[in-house]
Amino acid sequence: MDHMNVANPYFGVFVLFVLTFGAFFATTVIARLASRAMAAKDTEKLKLTVYECGPEVTKQPNRISPQFYLFALLFLLFDVEIVFMFPWAIDFKLLGWFGFVEMMLFILLLAVGFIYAWKKGALEWHNIK
Amino acid sequence: MIYELFLILPMMLIVLGALMLMLLSHREAPLNRNMLSVLILALAFGLTLSRLGEAHSVFVFEAIFGRSFIVDSFSTLFDLMILGGAMLTLLINHDYFKSRHYFDGDFFALVLFAVFGMMALSHAHELISAFISLEIASLSIYALVGYNSDNPKSREAMMKYVVLGSLAGALFMLGLALIYGATGSTELGAIAAHIAAHPQDAHTMLIIGGFFVMVTLFFKIGAVPFHAWVVDVYHGAPLPVTMLMASTFKIALFAVILRIYLGDFAALGDFWSLPLQILCVLTLIGGSFLALSQSNIKRMLAGSSVVHAGYMLIALNAITLGNFNASESILFYLMSYFISSVGAFGILSFLAAHEHKQLTFEDFKGFGYSHPYLAAMMSIFMLSLAGFPSTIGFLGKFYIFTGAIEAGQIALAALGIFVAFVSIFYYFRLIATMYFYDTPKTEQHFGFDTTTVLILLMAILSIWGGIGTALLPYLPTPDALIELSRHAITSLD
């Protein structure tokens, strides 16, 4: 092992690093074994119920329509794009015509996406009639 | 300005075409979307073809985008390969698209977006741009893999690919952060300048970052030990998508790998060499085991694509050792693998379109008597994939192994040759199954249509690539391809 660079100032850190990993691993294993051997295995019904700060656990009366997720996605898409428009608006004069054309292209691409989503029926609330 | 616009016109065409297909996708009107996308690809191909052979190297809109996008002879050749590959893939699946109901306009729009991402990847001269292009291509392919959402296998494949692929993408980002931390730039030229300006042993962080980037790229080409997804995803994906992933996407990935490791990280070749050698050995041996154990033809081809990635890694290793000529052998090998694998997958897709069944080795019993012409062509593709002399696959392997020997990697070349012998087992198993069994089925013939003509073309190309040099002295030969690749590589320096 003559090519192992023991003189490296970080060698000690590396050794500690490895040892820490070993110690961490050993601790986890020991803790798991100990708890498995010594813990009281109590499967009382009350213990296993879901705890919800006092009141009874309520059941979701209806299923949430996946349409919500679609709307959330679309909202995110079009809302986050606004983030790009603020700096553009502030530096509008500085960017000049280049910035204008660039932003128009950007909005055009967004518009295409919007038309696509519209035509695909993503904006319609299918499940409620 | 106008000239630069002209340079990126092919890419713009692809995006516009994809947007158009996207907007047309809801329309019920009978419209041959496959041919429309082929037309768009062909237009872009023609525009790019006009630049082939002229030496050029231009940073596109340098004042605006910095030096993040480059158009040079190298990217032009790769663009041609990607566009041609996508075009042939779509055309050869013509019958398959007609036989399945789930290929609507969105499918072709996604294919075009994927092609755009791949082209951008070959143009990227900056690591963040490379990452974004890679993700454009990958995200489109994730969606394409799960396109037949009625098929649980397809959904499973998509899930696997998305989860593992995003993890690989995150590693790319991590590597990029380390590289940026070490060099203060993500632009390849600046990184190369940094490497040149500092002593060799001051690059620890850069090398670690480079390894992470390498892991992502090798994950995408399916090198062992990052291959866990390959067989399942290739099997679950619809056949056209499998073809796109196995051939065209790989071409694009090698574009960026070559650009990074040939041009800008080349000075650190000593550090890449050892891990690459280990990867080569693992990939060749692991891939062979993967291919040997499959009973389904699609899965066997998927497993063997890992082995083919391994052959190309041999050449990549030769490059890191200073034999830059090996890069041409990678380009040639990519083309030869493309021709033979797309042909073989094309036959599978043709059969899947006309005879609905799971195509295992069992199904091919007596195939040589029931479908004599298709069986003959399948044999050609198998011979070419195995690297049998007088096919293009042989020449591809020949160039790779000679390149490795020139770089002093004799052991690796010997392993490659050994693995090529092993591969004869699983390729010839198919040929044997086709011809050594009787079949009760009567002989079937198919007329000439787009798919059959293209399969025939691929078979002719496989043979022409192997012996064309001797037979047709006045036509372009494989040497011309090599010359073209050499020319393209010079634009990297």
> DSSP assignment, residue A66?
T
Substitution target from B22, B24, B106 for chain A, most A beta carbons within 10 A: B22
From CA B121, how far away is CA B74, in angstroms rounded? 12
Answer yes or no: is B141 within a domain. no
Q: Is the pLDDT of residue A103 over 70?
A: yes
> Which fold is adopted by the domain A67-119?
Methane Monooxygenase Hydroxylase; Chain G, domain 1 (1.20.58)
Mean pLDDT along residues A122-129: 64
Answer yes or no: is B393 within a domain. yes
Q: Which residues of B touch A112 (CB under 8 A)?
A: 19, 22-23
From CA A22, how far away is CA A17, in angstroms rounded? 9
Taking only the tens place, the pLDDT of each residue in B345-382 is 999 999 888 886 667 888 888 888 888 898 999 999 99
Residue linked to tokens 């499959």 = B294
Predicted local distance difference test score (pLDDT) of residue B471? 52
Percent of all residues in chain A with a pLDDT value above 70, rounded to a whole number: 86
Tell me the Cα Rg of chain A: 30
Taking only the tens place, the pLDDT of each residue in A12-57 is 888 888 999 999 999 999 999 998 888 877 777 777 777 666 666 6
Answer yes or no: is B302 within a domain. yes
The alpha carbon of residue A102 is apart from the nearest alpha carbon of chain B, in Å, by 11
Residue in chain A closest to B15 (alpha carbons) equals A109
Mean pLDDT along residues B283-309: 92
Nearest to A112 among B19, B26, B64 (CB): B19
Answer yes or no: is B458 within a domain. yes
Mean pLDDT along residues B424-441: 88
ipTM: 0.72
Taking only the tens place, the pLDDT of each residue in B444-467 is 778 888 888 999 999 988 888 877
> CB distance A116–B25 less than 8 Å?
yes
Mean pLDDT along residues B296-301: 91
Phi, psi dihedrals of residue B325, rounded to the nearest 5°? -65, -20
Nearest to A119 among B19, B26, B64 (CB): B26
Confidence of residue B419 (pLDDT cuts 50, 70, 90): very high
CB of B295 within 8 A of CB of B240? Answer: no
> CB distance A112–B26 less than 8 Å?
no
Q: Print the domain residue range for B386.
A: 269-493
Computed over every residue of chain A, the mean pLDDT equals 81
Q: Which residues of B touch A115 (CB under 8 A)?
A: 23
Q: Which residues of A touch B23 (CB under 8 A)?
A: 112, 115-116, 119
From CA B339, how far away is CA B396, in angstroms rounded? 11
Taking only the tens place, the pLDDT of each residue in B140-165 is 999 999 998 888 999 999 999 999 99
Taking only the tens place, the pLDDT of each residue in B64-122 is 888 888 888 888 889 999 999 999 999 999 888 888 888 887 899 999 999 999 999 99
Predicted local distance difference test score (pLDDT) of residue A128? 47
Instruction: Please provide the DSSP assignment of B95-154 as one string.
Output: HHHHH-TT--HHHHHHHHHHHHHHHHHHHB-BHHHHHHHHHHHHHHHHHHHT--TT-HHH
Q: Vertex A35, ends A34 and A41: CA angle to 5°?
A: 135
Q: Is the pLDDT of residue A129 over 50?
A: no
Answer yes or no: is B290 within a domain. yes
From CA B387, how far away is CA B427, in angstroms rounded? 10
From CA A64, how far away is CA A86, in angstroms rounded? 34
Residue in chain A closest to B19 (alpha carbons) equals A112
Nearest to A112 among B23, B26, B64 (CB): B23
Q: Is the pLDDT of residue B476 over 60?
A: no
Mean pLDDT along residues B167-191: 91
From CA B273, how far away is CA A29, in angstroms rounded? 38
Cα distances from A128 to residues A64, A119, A122, A123, B262, in angstroms, run: 12, 19, 14, 13, 59
Number of domains in chain B: 1
